[in-house]
Amino acid sequence: MTDMPLVRTSREEIEVYRFGPVISVMIPLLALVIQAFVPVKFRSFAIFDLPLLVTIFFAVARRSQVAGMLTGAVIGLVQDALTHQAIGLYGIAKTVVGYGASSLGVKIDVENPGTRLLVTSGFYLVHQAVYFLVARNVLGVAMEWLWARTLLAALLNGIVAIVLFGVLDRFKHST
Amino acid sequence: MENFFSRYRNASLLVLLLVAQVVGLGVQVRRRTEAGGTRLVRFWVVSAITPLERALVGANQGVRSVWRNYLYLRGVRQENRDLKAQIERLRIEQVRLSEDAAQARRLQALLGFKEQYIAQTVAAQVIGSSGSDQSHVIYIDKGANDGIKPDMAVITPNGIVGKVLRVFHGSSQVLLINDPSSGVGAILQSSRLQGILQGTAAGEVMLRYVMSDEKVAAGEPVLTSGGDRIFPKGLPVGAVQQTNPGSDLFLNIRVKPAADLSRLEEVLVVTKIEENIPAEPAGPVRAADILAERLPSVPPKPPALAAKGTTASAATVAKPAATNPSNSATAASTSGAQPSTSPAIQSRTNGAAATAKPAVGGPEPAARSSGEATPDTVAKKPAAKPAETAPAVGTVGGTAGTATKPAVVQPAANKPVGNGEAGRTKAIDSAGQPVKPAAPPQPPSGEEVPR
């Protein structure tokens, strides 16, 4: 655990990370495959959103808004393609999250586990809210906003993010 | 303007991306109402993801197979014993149900009732899901190459699962019945109330559009009604779990699906459903007939030998059971009709044979000796439809002079009989025609019954 302050004080403190092309493709792909495969055996696993966590991780590590939103858009659209709903729902939600996470990564320290928990939980709520609004208002899908379930899912995703980000940290290279 | 875009480059790009996707959504919604079809991006993604999922499923199965088949064998012998006992129970039940089914077919034929049959299914393995709580779909490893088409029913032996939504070359997307966009015609088994089965956002299954003044008991089975033209009628859906009065005119009926939708491994895709009127059986079939059908058959008797038998007082000629030497030995010491191991059939025989006491639980009857009449003679399924009052098991032989048409009884030969099953014999006349069951004659009083 480092004693770094949560808020950056100068541009010099910002460290931008890069990933190899193989990692950039394989990790999101692996997240999508696991997300699609594990719920077949354990339905409750669907409460997690590994593609969202990967989106947040890449966005905050690269600290580039363009890269963040594009990563989010691509991962979201691929996730959409696996559902039976119209393509674009997850795409829009993850584009917003990618943009927001990369913007936040510039301003705060996201290496801290506590910050990671808060950031991930917060962006999970944003993601669900955007999805809900678009699905309900654009597509007219009958959906219910379940507060208890959504908050629980946000917390669980935040906890998983701490572990996952710790593993993914090994693949990033500082520039 | 140039300054604006360069200053807010990232924000502009975000807006552009979002607008493009919203427009894309709008286009899809419009096209969905016009025609179906699969988006190219969906095709690419599924083609890329499903091979990986297939490999994962294969590896998972390999490990489980080794564990279950070679390592973890605890309790297998006990399970084997239990299953054997269950098979015996089910065999007995099958006889009863076959009679009910035959009766149902007769009634359906009389009413011109069209029945749907599942004529063909394709077994498929579940290889993936959407991975989302908002979309309750699964992927199976069979696609267009295997004859799968959209809107085919997907079931398990326990109950229905869903319907095929999209078909790819080697995989298909199946919409589960607990998805909010799913709809299945359903009927409550005992009250015969019909409704529509729909999913909820939470993944529950609800039976809608049952009026609130109806009484629905918890635990009542729910079946498919066939009204959706996807699922054949009568497939199990689940059971009523909870019933609440809804805010409108209808009840909120929560149904627990019969198939475990959260742990699907193998499913069946119904690829062919036939609809026809069941053919009426040739004659009345009773439990005894069905039982007789299960008994070993006999080869036809030569006419010459059959004619010989007409002179016999018992009007029956029996051949020895060649495969059972003990029978011959026993037969040598007997002079009359011998008992059968099938009391149900034997109790219907008449005359001298009818009075023979069965050796319950005994081996192949000794009555199958040469020249002796056997009591377990069955006039099975006569060509002409007999009267409703005619006994299922015909009367053969009888005392001298009681039978106007002498019959030849051909016992089971060359077939070993075991497990309490008696040999089946056919009662035929000299022309080789089945004997019509006759009224049971009374045996002469004081007649000695040989054992």
ipTM (interface pTM): 0.85
By the 8 A CB rule, do A164 and A57 touch?
Answer: yes
pLDDT at A21: 87
Q: How far is B184 from chain A (nearest CA, A)?
A: 17
Q: How far is B196 from chain A (nearest CA, A)?
A: 17
**End residue of a domain, out of B254, B276, B298:** B276
Q: Is A35 on the interface with B (CB under 8 A)?
A: yes
Q: Which residues of A touch B132 (CB under 8 A)?
A: 46, 79, 82-83, 90
**End residue of a domain, out of B246, B276, B306:** B276
- pLDDT: which is higher, A109 or B12: B12
Percent residues over pLDDT 90 in chain B:
25
- pLDDT: which is higher, B360 or A40: A40
- Judged against a pLDDT cut of 70, whether residue B437 lies above it is answered with no
- Judged against a pLDDT cut of 80, whether residue B119 lies above it is answered with no
Instruction: Please indicate, yes or no, if residue B232 is contained in any of the structural domains.
Output: yes
Q: Which residues of B touch A29 (CB under 8 A)?
A: 48, 52
Q: Which domain holds residue B242?
A: 114-276
**Same-domain pairing of B212 and B336:** no
For residue B138 the two structure tokens come to: 């699964």
The mean of the pLDDT values for chain B is 69
Q: Is B176 on the interface with A (CB under 8 A)?
A: no
* SS3 state of residue B411: coil
- Judged against a pLDDT cut of 50, whether residue A153 lies above it is answered with yes
Cβ of A11: how many Cβ atoms within 10 Å?
A: 7
Q: Is B37 on the interface with A (CB under 8 A)?
A: no
**Same-domain pairing of B296 and B442:** yes
pLDDT at B290: 53
**Same-domain pairing of B261 and B338:** no
Domain count, chain B: 2
**End residue of a domain, out of B243, B276, B309:** B276
**Same-domain pairing of B415 and B307:** yes
Q: Which residue in A68, A37, A67 sits closest to A50, CA to CA?
A: A37
**Same-domain pairing of B312 and B206:** no
Chain B, nearest residue to A79 by Cα: B130
Mean pLDDT to the nearest integer, A103-120: 87
By the 8 A CB rule, do B410 and B435 touch?
Answer: no
Of A9-18, B226-235, B360-369, the range with the lowest mean pLDDT is B360-369
Confidence class of residue B27 from pLDDT cuts 50, 70 and 90? confident
Within 8 A by CB and 6+ apart from B142, the residues are: B122, B124, B148, B170, B171, B172, B269
Q: Are strands A173-174 and B115-129 parallel, antiparallel or unpaired?
A: unpaired
Instruction: Please indicate, yes or no, if residue B37 is contained in any of the structural domains.
Output: no
Q: Do B26 and A81 touch (CB under 8 A)?
A: no
Mean pLDDT to the nearest integer, B238-265: 89
pLDDT at B370: 38
Q: Tell me the one-letter amino acid at B285.
A: V
Closest partner CB to A84 (pick from B29, B49, B173) = B173
Record the pTM. Answer: 0.64
- Judged against a pLDDT cut of 70, whether residue B433 lies above it is answered with no
For B429, half-sphere exposure in the C-beta direction (CA atoms, 13 angstrom radius) is 13
pLDDT at A76: 95
Q: Tell me the one-letter amino acid at A42.
A: F
- In the stretch 126-165 of chain A, residues with CB closer than 8 A to chain B read 131, 134-135, 138-139, 141-144, 146, 149
Instruction: Please indicate, yes or no, if residue B91 is contained in any of the structural domains.
Output: no
Percent residues over pLDDT 70 in chain B:
57
- Judged against a pLDDT cut of 50, whether residue B252 lies above it is answered with yes
